[in-house]
Structure 1
């Protein structure tokens, strides 16, 4: 499913993980993709992975976009810096004169999170920094990018988060800071739907499932090629998905001429895959959030039968 010729996308937070997978799949669908983030070949970010065993820079992502069939353009950008984001959008305008897709995927707060820690015990500086990364960056990006997006009708905004609205409304997500950080993008998508709808644009919140990001693979000491070995330590990891899976769902959403039916919705990689007939890189179709509710949270033994 290809995108219209000359489609221009901005993937904010494209260094690794879901952002990289989304950028690459938009490239595979034919888009020109501006890949932004703070990790560059000459200057790694403060994310906490300077010794990462695999390339995790926006230049590497841009090269993968181009190799997939699109045009990848790396622009180092700190999305907490309004002036930097303004310069980014001005460059896109000067280069292409249009912006069709904005993917707000900036986070980078995992290493600031103290899991299952009450707010009075959690480091306050880290918690507030986490919220700035998760929320302020998205607001700053929207403020500067949306005027270019609405210049042409039919734009798409994707807020990437962790968890669907249905799941997050019923569950406490690890600590107060993380809970707020991952609920906020869902609310932002609803806000953008209200504000952008009259201009012919669509806004959607999308969550991947249990993502085999670079960080997660390192956590389990595996690679994308042998990731199933991690199931010995964590059997439910069998439902995990590659970053390309959510990317394929978002690319299909962007190519859907009737995507306005998703306006303001909260959806998942699994739901998008069912809707558009997509599979992950291994040919499977994991439905992680249904699995989490019906198997993992229900305390049942790991069994992905009927879920991938």
Structure 2
């Protein structure tokens, strides 16, 4: 047994930190995938660590990682039961002001993936892509947990059955049903790798420049014909080049904008700032989904916490 487990059981907080600290990042990402909320994930991780500390005397085993995932997953299952699932406007059959929205995920939270192999890092980033997280919310809580533990975290079916206090047969059945719902669409990581860093950066530059110039035709020229544009927490959304063009001309492009590149959910993103009272103030976090060299979807999170994404809280007139 790891000597640090014995020390932590004896009340050594340093040993506890050495055991659990390196797992915090991956655990946070797991909770985000389950819950679709950065803030709920943070609460879940904090409670998981508190419960781990208080129940360490009862821990039996050589590795704390599966045990920690069991605590965190069960906490997530409880929260899902209490709070229901989160949505994106484009997932709703009809607009609803009562929906609870998925939150964007700061890519800085994925810094822990730098220690992984290239293949494992790509898999971890694919797991927080917005489309994948949104598709998870359409699953039952059990299916969600099984899919993540098996396909993202690579636990064996027998391990997952033990973590969730169920049978291997139930795990395999839930996994099959979950895979049918989630599907296997191309990921953003694959698209970005195919485009290459230079082409991706150029696409981002063109999107930024078109908005700052107020050039609607330049903006829509970057979109796929069936592109979608949504702005949670507003339940309405727009589809297709003509629909998005009309919306932009009727509203946003009557204002002046500045965009600052960032990353969210492992995807291309921008902090958007509108000119107001002599300065540019935050208005939304635009998260882009690409299909080939074009933009297939823009989700503009109007209530994103800019500080969490390393974005300034205002911009001067000259930049």
* TM, length-normalised to structure 1: 0.25
* TM, length-normalised to structure 2: 0.25
Higher relative contact order (CA 8 A, sep 6+): 1
Structure (1/2) with the larger strand percentage: 2
Structure (1/2) with the larger helix percentage: 2
